[in-house]
Amino acid sequence: MMQRLKSKSGKLPEAKTRETILLAAIDEFATNGFAGARTENIAKNAHVNKAMLHYYFHDKENLYDAVLETLYGSLQDIETLIQQISEAPLNSVQYVHVFLRIILAKHGSPSSRAFRSILAWELAAGQNNLKRVAQKYMIPRIATMTELIKRGIAAGELNCENPTFAVWSLISQVAFYYMHERTYEGSSLYDELYGNISQEKLLQILLENFIAAYAVNKKIHCALPADVDQMAVKLAELLSQPSFAQRAAP
């Protein structure tokens, strides 16, 4: 359950009302999907009336659109960190290291459970709403990472026929892994698959697999410089949380 925000007086400040509605909406859509979500539940859990909800978001479709923007979108400080890391003097495997850390945080942090649930609902419903979000956020980020892998190919560090597929396979492995955690809860396999596998261990496994599949030199340096490591940790932390950048009212 996402944390609600209130002032000491118990009243919602004007600047926080929109965010509080979004937090309630994230919980509702994560639990029931778009079709099953009810705006009256969202208003009740946000402690606002439906008139206030419609004032900010007009209807359920626009509210859901805002939720997807919140879960996939980003703020300027995130884009600044991405730019700084992309300009750092790293080899291609070190860039993959950063990328894996980010997507592991996005999909694997406790605060990302709602993100994973909404993603699962979207996949089941045919992904129509995700297409627009993918065009705006996911595809440009995949393209950025693809260019970094192409740079590694040109430098003789990697041997990869389809860099875009290589990037997508990393995302798919991480997304599939975390989306199926509940499937194995209580089973005899859970500890081996999840209970004994930390996020750092999973990062190591995925990085080793990438090196085995694509690196020309299997002993290529993959650890991050301290300053880049700090930026990667900060970026992963930011991306694991919902973004509440204000959007212009439609």
pLDDT of residue 243: 61
The residue ranking higher by pLDDT, 162 or 111, is 162
Q: How many CB atoms lie within 10 A of CB 57?
A: 23
Residue 118 has pLDDT above 70, yes or no: yes
**Whole-angstrom distance, CA of residue 247 vs CA of residue 80:** 19
pLDDT of residue 7: 47
35, 14 Cβ separation under 8 angstroms: no
C-alpha torsion sign, points 151, 84, 136, 94: positive
The residue ranking higher by pLDDT, 97 or 7, is 97
Q: How many CB atoms lie within 10 A of CB 221?
A: 11
pTM listed for this prediction: 0.78
Residue 5 has pLDDT above 60, yes or no: no
Residue 165 has pLDDT above 90, yes or no: yes
Residue 219 has pLDDT above 50, yes or no: yes
% pLDDT > 70, the chain: 85
Residue 235 has pLDDT above 50, yes or no: yes
pLDDT in tens, 78-115: 667 777 787 788 999 999 999 898 888 878 876 677 77
pLDDT of residue 79: 66
Within 13 Å, how many C-alpha atoms sit on residue 178's CB side? 25
**Amino acid of residue 21:** I
**What domains sit in the chain, N to C, each tagged with a CATH number?**
14-71 (1.10.10.60), 75-239 (1.10.357)
pLDDT in tens, 179-198: 888 889 999 999 999 999 99
